[in-house]
Chains A and B, each alone.
Chain A
Amino acid sequence: MLVIQSIDEPSRVEDRQKDTANADPNMQQESPIELSPPPNPTQAINWTDLVQRIQSNDQPALEELYTLFSRGIKFLIVRQLGRQDIDDRVHDTFVIVVQAIQRGELRDPERLMGFVRTIVRRQIASFIEKNYTRRRDELDIDGNVTIADSHMSPEEGAIRAQNSQIMEEILRDCSRRDREILTRFYLLEQPQEQICAEMGLNDTQFRLLKSRAKQRFSDEGRRRMAKSNLKSFFVRKRSA
């Protein structure tokens, strides 16, 4: 069974010392709980067969390709460009991938993931270029500029503000030393090796501190979500 430690499921040792820096430097890393993540979805795929079927325009193969990659393509594009026109952008990218495969541009079917990633990156660059050109052309035509509002939605803004507030409270609540360690790593972008050397930490203590912060963030987020859901439940009850 694969043993991992994730944000959602870090080790759940409740009686930890609050100040990691004061923990025994020789302590062993806590044993994370054992999870059984899903298998890698690519392991069961016969890439050569899939690519050959796409080249012969086999509809189930196209659906399989779409199912396999659409969420990931969307994910990478949203990370760079936001959610604006995202469905169109994913569709455009998918069409380009299929056409390129059908033209025989993918020589090694085992490299399909790398091939798709390259096309996604080109598409992202192309979308940025198009946006720039469109803004310039719009200005040339009527002297006015329309800049799409890619600001976050009110809901996204509220979530982001709440998350920031949760972390602020966690940082204020932890010891000065723990706060400095987290600030150095996440805000000041200092490398782990430097922080550990300057603050007398070993690798385990450093990981433990980050893991606890993630756990508290996750727990507090869930707690507030539950509280919010409970509140809206009673509001609905009252208005019903």
Chain B
Amino acid sequence: MDRRLPERDESALQILNGSHLTEDALEVYSLGRLSSEEDIAVVEEHILVCGYCQTRLEKMELFVEATVAGAKTVAANPEPNKFRNYLPIAIAASAALLVFVPGLLEQSTEPASIDLVAVRNETRLVAPAHKSLNLKPDLTGLSATSYDWELSGVDGQLKSSGKLDLSSGRLSVSGLEAGQYWLRLKSGGQQEILREFSLSVK
């Protein structure tokens, strides 16, 4: 299945239902797929003062987060028990591969694909050093029409920068030495920092 950018006919999305946010609005907002600044403003202004909708949004986010995590696990291992009997053989075969084909992993030219998440979630993402990295910053809740990015080392030195490819939501960097890095996302053409992500390279 292709990974595609979210598209939604927002003209059909009802944000408020009487006094409170609709279930759809809460879900789309928590998934970060609400792209209209006006709609985001309506949601956030309501959330600022409505404890009832704050609680609903918290529960929605728990569900969304758990579903994404659960779906990732299932996608990575669709039939967990099917090959249990072959596990020792698989481990032995893997060990043999690693012994007899040293550097196999390093020779791979496939870029490592990494989803960057905001500070409140996991911040210790680890990426392989000296490899092409395909990073996808979490744009949840952001609504800028374009984004500039900067990658700095722990010493504050700028390592790389560019514009985020909005069609894929991804950016590429390569050849990073081991260390701690910070990726800052700015609204395009402006200097307002919208979000910062940490990335550990080993």
CB distance from A78 to the nearest CB of B (A): 7
* A171 interface residue (CB < 8 Å to B): yes
- Which chain B residue shows the least CB distance to A193? B9
Q: Which of B1, B7, B49, B73 contacts A68 (CB 8 A)?
A: B49
**B120 contacts A125, C-beta separation under 8 Å:** no
Q: Within 8 Å CB of A107, what residues of B?
A: none
Q: Within 8 Å CB of B67, what residues of A?
A: 167, 171, 182, 186-187, 213, 217
**A71 contacts B51, C-beta separation under 8 Å:** yes
Q: Within 8 Å CB of A165, what residues of B?
A: 70
Q: Within 8 Å CB of B54, what residues of A?
A: 71-72, 75
Q: Within 8 Å CB of A33, what residues of B?
A: none
Cα of A213 to Cα of B27 in the assembled complex, Å: 13
Q: Within 8 Å CB of A85, what residues of B?
A: none
The total of Cβ contacts below 8 Å across the A-B interface reads 197
CB distance from A191 to the nearest CB of B (A): 5
Residues of chain A in range 151-185 having any CB-CB distance to chain B below 8 Å: 151-152, 160, 163-172, 179, 182-184
Residues of chain B in range 62-79 having any CB-CB distance to chain A below 8 Å: 62-75
Q: Within 8 Å CB of B44, what residues of A?
A: 76, 117
**B70 contacts A6, C-beta separation under 8 Å:** no
Known: A8-B59, A151-B123. A37 touches B20 (CB 8 A): yes
Residue of A72, A191, A194 ringed by the most chain B CB atoms within 10 A: A72
**A163 contacts B193, C-beta separation under 8 Å:** no
Q: Within 8 Å CB of A41, what residues of B?
A: 49-51
* B23 interface residue (CB < 8 Å to A): yes
Q: Within 8 Å CB of A78, what residues of B?
A: 120
* A200 interface residue (CB < 8 Å to B): no
Residue of A129, A152, A186, A192 ringed by the most chain B CB atoms within 10 A: A186
- Which chain B residue shows the least CB distance to A9? B56
Residue of A69, A117, A145, A166 ringed by the most chain B CB atoms within 10 A: A117
Q: Which of A114, A136, A139 contacts B41 (CB 8 A)?
A: A114
**B120 contacts A73, C-beta separation under 8 Å:** no
* A95 interface residue (CB < 8 Å to B): no
**B180 contacts A150, C-beta separation under 8 Å:** no
> For chain B, what secondary structure do more than half of its interface residues adopt (helix, strand, loop), or is it mixed?
mixed
CB distance from B157 to the nearest CB of A (A): 9
Report, as a range, how many residues of chain A touch the other chain: 35 or more
- Which chain A residue shows the least CB distance to B20? A37
**A217 contacts B48, C-beta separation under 8 Å:** no
CB distance from A70 to the nearest CB of B (A): 10
Q: Which of B9, B45, B68, B182 contacts A113 (CB 8 A)?
A: B45
**B118 contacts A80, C-beta separation under 8 Å:** yes
**A192 contacts B17, C-beta separation under 8 Å:** no
- Nearest first, the 4 closest Cβ-Cβ pairs linking A and B are A167-B70, A72-B48, A40-B19, A136-B156
| Residues of B that sit less than 8 Å from A by CB | 1-9, 17-20, 22-23, 27, 31, 33, 41, 44-52, 54, 56-57, 59-60, 62-75, 80, 118-124, 141, 152, 154-156, 180, 182, 184, 192-196, 198
Q: List 22 A-B contacts (CB under 8 A).
A: A2-B19, A6-B56, A37-B19, A40-B18, A69-B48, A69-B49, A75-B48, A75-B54, A78-B120, A80-B195, A131-B196, A135-B182, A150-B119, A164-B69, A168-B74, A186-B64, A187-B72, A189-B31, A189-B33, A191-B6, A193-B9, A217-B63
Given A6-B59, A7-B59, output 14 extra A-B contacts at Cβ < 8 Å: A7-B60, A40-B50, A69-B49, A75-B48, A80-B118, A113-B48, A117-B45, A135-B182, A160-B69, A168-B70, A187-B68, A187-B71, A190-B6, A217-B66
